[in-house]
């Protein structure tokens, strides 16, 4: 026995290396098979690699097949490495028919298909579901539509404060930066163990956290590129008043208001902090407050987190910057052999919110059930285990708002989104654009290939903007050096940046 062990090992190894090369078998069946990399956020939110149960996945696949005649295979993303894995799949020519991404990144490299004809032919419900702005953001100047939208303009960074504490201190919910400062001071004094202000650098859907919440209070354009009077597009750091904004943030940081980990927070930590009830003011993405609110309430009886009516204001007006409809959407690979099948599947989910509901929460009566199917009302039966929403391709406000539940646990979140109010004429808080500033170049697309060609120092500029601003806020670099910082930006090619961005802006406006 022992004698052959090594030989056996050698043979086994050799066998596997060579035999495996022949595994790919060309299928020539009538049913089109499509593969979708589901990186639209639904799975990463739930923990991608942790797996839905294979039985439920089979059931979902069979359901989609029986309803649409199309076999849909889903690849779940790697949490934290969603785009890296996508790049590998695409670079290696693995079959991936559809995925989510910023269309300019892919369109300029001929990696994706324009969808105008397909949508006209098969996608009427999809077209009806999304607002004009969303489609505009997914289209180029020539009118090519490059993907199915994922976002609408949204108030993603309302400043939530603890109204119960404000009341305790004899204050109203702070509506201005000065009132907020008083509130934070009172928190610091009266609640020594709390976190006065929780802020982040980057949030969901490209939001920019602390900047998105406060920059507009001190600057005309807020957390947006700046249109200077000379007609040029410049980065936000150059706009008048931005230095004052940084000075204020630095003051707050020094005073111990801003949670010191702000530059390295992730959603998980943020939500734990909020659930603990320690957070007196939240300047991170809204859903960190609204989604776990039931737990927060259970942990902290009497807690009441609210944002100021009409939005926070400062010397330069509205503090919050609206998250514009982005270039992020579902894209169809140029190598896709059945693009019409992808659109048909999407149309199936968009045509009836009940279909999306099953895709999102799994087979009916398993984890949830309808309480009134005609009104699209459901209730949750048990915790989500075994299905993570792998087939939920129609993510986004239109579908998420279409169904509703009376579960009190969801009230805060669904209230902000206006779930169940579709068609009632009520504007939900999340879509109340009067509370903030719209970025001046919302909908303008900055082509990454042009950027790479025209701005050789682009990566350095982006890094310097991010890194140095953090240092200014933390006081690791004195704000007196702000002008020197701007000069440094120019020295590594900011002029290229401004010229290139301005050209792209002007060609689209």
Partner 1 sequence: MSTLSGERSPSINRPLWRNLRKDKFLYLLMLPGLLYFLLFRYIPLMGTLVAFKDVAPFDNAATILSSQWVGLKHFSAFISSHYFWNIMKNTFALAGLRMVFEFFCPVLLALLINEVRNRYLKKTIQTISYMPYFLSNIVLAGLVFQLLTMNNGVIPAVVESLGGNPVYYLGDSRYFRTVLVSAIVWRNIGWGTIVYLAALSGIDPQLYEAARIDGANRFRQTIYITLPGISFAIAIMFILRISVILNQGWEETLLLYNPGVYSVADIIDTYVWRMGLEQMRYSFATAVGFFKSLLALALVLMSNYIARKSGQQSMYR
Partner 2 sequence: MSTTFESRGEKVFRIANAFFLLMITAVFLLPFLITIAGSLISESELLHREGLLLIPENPDFSAYRMLLAKGSAVFKAFRVTLFRTFVGGFLQIMTTAALAYGLSKRHLTGRKFIITALMICLVFPVQIIPQYLVVKNYGLIDSLWSLVFPWLINTQYVFIMMAFFQQIPESLEEAAVIDGCSHLTIFTRIIIPLSLASLATIGLFYAVWQWNSWYDAAMFINSTVKFPVQNLLRTILVSSTLDSVLTENSTNPPPSESIKGAIIVITSLPILCVYPFVQKYFVKGFMVGSVKG
Site of interaction with partner 1 (CB under 8 A):
6-7, 9-10, 13-14, 17, 81, 83-84, 87, 90-91, 93, 105-106, 109, 111, 195, 201, 259-264, 269, 273, 276, 278, 452, 456-457, 459-460, 463-464, 466-467, 470-471, 474, 476, 492
Which partner in partner 2, partner 1, none is near 176 (CB below 5 to 8 A by kind)? none
Q: Which stretch binds partner 2 (CB under 8 A): 76-84, 325-333, 479-487, 500-508?
A: 76-84
Shortest separation between residue 327's beta carbon and partner 2, angstroms: 24
Which partner in partner 1, partner 2, none is near 476 (CB below 5 to 8 A by kind)? partner 1
Give the start-end residues of each E strand in 131-234. Answer: 148-149, 160-162, 195-199, 226-227, 233-234
Which partner in partner 1, partner 2, none is near 299 (CB below 5 to 8 A by kind)? partner 2
- 267 counts as binding partner 2 under rule CB under 8 A: yes
Shortest separation between residue 277's beta carbon and partner 2, angstroms: 8
- 291 counts as binding partner 2 under rule CB under 8 A: yes
The closest of 149, 53, 31, 102 to 390, measured between CA atoms, is: 53
- What's 263's DSSP letter? G
Which uninterrupted H or E stretch holds 501?
helix 494-508
C-alpha count within 13 angstroms, C-beta hemisphere, residue 172: 8
* Beta-sheet pairing, 305-306 with 160-162: antiparallel
Q: Which is nearer to partner 2, 229 or 268 (CB)?
A: 268
The closest of 201, 141, 152 to 447, measured between CA atoms, is: 141
Among 384, 465, 471, 503, binds partner 2 (CB under 8 A): 384
Q: Which stretch binds partner 2 (CB under 8 A): 177-185, 205-213, 240-248, 378-386?
A: 378-386
Which partner in partner 2, partner 1, none is near 230 (CB below 5 to 8 A by kind)? none
Q: Which is nearer to partner 1, 81 or 421 (CB)?
A: 81
- How buried is residue 237: exposed, middle or buried, by Cβ count under 10 Å (0-12/13-18/19+)? buried
SS3 at position 323: strand
DSSP-H helix ranges across 364-426: 397-402, 411-417
Within 10 angstroms of residue 182's Cβ, the number of other Cβ atoms is 14
Give the start-end residues of each E strand in 134-229. Answer: 148-149, 160-162, 195-199, 226-227
Which partner in partner 1, partner 2, none is near 185 (CB below 5 to 8 A by kind)? none
Within 10 angstroms of residue 372's Cβ, the number of other Cβ atoms is 11
Residues 308-337 that bind partner 2 (CB under 8 A): none
Please say whether the beta carbons of 112 and 335 come within 8 A: no
Which partner in partner 2, partner 1, none is near 120 (CB below 5 to 8 A by kind)? none
Shortest separation between residue 400's beta carbon and partner 2, angstroms: 10
Q: How far is CA 102 from the centre of its chain?
A: 12
Among 84, 190, 434, 491, binds partner 2 (CB under 8 A): 84
Residues 224-263 that bind partner 2 (CB under 8 A): none
Tokens of residue 393, six digits: 């391709």
SS3 at position 233: strand
Among 45, 175, 315, 317, binds partner 2 (CB under 8 A): 45
Cα distance between residue 185 and residue 56, in whole Å: 52
Q: Which is nearer to partner 2, 136 or 381 (CB)?
A: 381
SS3 at position 229: coil
- 53 counts as binding partner 2 under rule CB under 8 A: yes
302: left (phi over 0), alpha (psi -120 to 50) or beta: left
- 266 counts as binding partner 2 under rule CB under 8 A: yes
Residues 1-30 that bind partner 2 (CB under 8 A): 2-3, 5-7, 9-10, 12-13, 16-17, 20-24
Q: Which is nearer to partner 1, 367 or 470 (CB)?
A: 470
Cα distance between residue 447 and residue 44, in whole Å: 27
The closest of 386, 380, 450 to 409, measured between CA atoms, is: 380
Cα distance between residue 99 and residue 86, in whole Å: 8
Which partner in partner 2, partner 1, none is near 16 (CB below 5 to 8 A by kind)? partner 2
Which partner in partner 2, partner 1, none is near 380 (CB below 5 to 8 A by kind)? partner 2
- 49 counts as binding partner 2 under rule CB under 8 A: yes
Please provide the DSSP assignment of 15-84 as one string: HHHHHGGG-------SS-EEEEE--SSHHHHH-GGG---HHHHHHHHHHHHHHHS-EEEEEPPPTT-HHH
- 271 counts as binding partner 2 under rule CB under 8 A: yes
Which partner in partner 1, partner 2, none is near 456 (CB below 5 to 8 A by kind)? partner 1
Residues 149-188 that bind partner 2 (CB under 8 A): none
Residues 90-149 that bind partner 2 (CB under 8 A): 91-94
Shortest separation between residue 474's beta carbon and partner 1, angstroms: 7
Shortest separation between residue 61's beta carbon and partner 1, angstroms: 28
Cα distance between residue 74 and residue 67, in whole Å: 17
Among 11, 15, 31, 47, binds partner 2 (CB under 8 A): 47
Site residues for partner 2 per CB under 8 A: 2-3, 5-7, 9-10, 12-13, 16-17, 20-24, 44-54, 57, 75-76, 78-81, 84-85, 87-88, 91-94, 193, 266-268, 271-272, 276-277, 291-292, 294-295, 298-299, 361, 367, 380, 383-384, 386, 388, 407, 409-410, 413
């Amino acid at each position: 026995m022992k004698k052959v062990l090594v030989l056996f090992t050698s043979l086994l190894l050799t066998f596997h290396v060579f035999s495996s090369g022949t595994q790919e078998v060309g299928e020539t069946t009538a049913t089109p098979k499509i593969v979708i990399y589901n990186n639209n956020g639904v799975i990463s939110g739930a923990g991608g690699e942790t797996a839905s149960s294979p039985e439920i996945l089979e059931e979902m696949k069979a359901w989609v097949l029986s309803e649409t005649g199309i076999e849909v295979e889903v690849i779940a993303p790697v949490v934290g490495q969603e785009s890296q894995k996508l790049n590998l799949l695409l670079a290696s020519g693995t079959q991936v028919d559809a995925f989510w991404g910023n269309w300019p990144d892919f369109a300029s490299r001929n990696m994706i298909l324009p969808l105008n004809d397909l949508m006209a032919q098969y996608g009427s419900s999809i077209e009806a579901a999304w607002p004009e702005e969303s489609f505009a953001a997914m289209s180029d100047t020539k009118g090519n539509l490059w993907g199915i939208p994922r976002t609408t303009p949204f108030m993603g960074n309302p400043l939530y404060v603890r109204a119960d504490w404000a009341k305790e201190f004899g204050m109203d919910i702070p509506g201005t930066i000065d009132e907020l400062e008083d509130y934070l001071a009172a928190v610091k004094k009266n609640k020594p163990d709390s976190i006065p202000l929780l802020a982040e650098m980057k949030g969901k859907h490209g939001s920019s956290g602390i900047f998105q919440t406060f920059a507009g209070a001190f600057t005309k354009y807020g957390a947006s590129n700046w249109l200077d009077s000379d007609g040029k597009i410049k980065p936000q750091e150059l706009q008048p008043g931005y230095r004052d904004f940084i000075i204020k943030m630095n003051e707050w940081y020094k005073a111990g208001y801003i949670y010191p980990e702000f530059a390295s927070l992730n959603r998980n930590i943020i939500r734990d902090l909020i659930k603990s009830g320690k957070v007196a003011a939240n300047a991170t993405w809204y859903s960190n407050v609204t989604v776990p609110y039931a737990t927060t309430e259970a942990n902290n009886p009497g807690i009441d987190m609210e944002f100021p009516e009409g939005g926070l204001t400062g010397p330069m007006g509205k503090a919050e910057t609206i998250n514009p409809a982005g270039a992020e959407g579902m894209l169809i690979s140029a190598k896709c052999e059945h693009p019409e099948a992808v659109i048909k599947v999407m149309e199936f989910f968009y045509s009836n919110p009940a279909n999306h509901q099953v895709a999102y929460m799994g087979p009916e009566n398993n984890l949830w059930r309808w309480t009134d199917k005609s009104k699209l009302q459901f209730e949750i039966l048990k915790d989500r285990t075994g299905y993570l929403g792998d087939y939920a391709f129609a993510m986004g406000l239109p579908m998420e708002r279409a169904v509703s539940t009376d579960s009190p646990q969801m009230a805060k979140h669904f209230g902000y989104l206006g779930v169940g109010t579709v068609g009632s004429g009520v504007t939900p808080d999340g879509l109340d654009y009067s509370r903030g500033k719209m970025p001046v170049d919302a909908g303008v697309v900055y082509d990454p290939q042009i950027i790479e060609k025209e701005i050789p120092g682009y990566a350095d500029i982006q890094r310097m903007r991010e890194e140095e601003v953090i240092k200014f806020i933390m006081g690791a670099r004195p704000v007196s050096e702000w002008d020197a910082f701007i000069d440094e930006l120019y020295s590594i090619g900011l002029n290229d940046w401004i010229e290139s961005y301005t050209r792209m802006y002007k060609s689209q406006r």
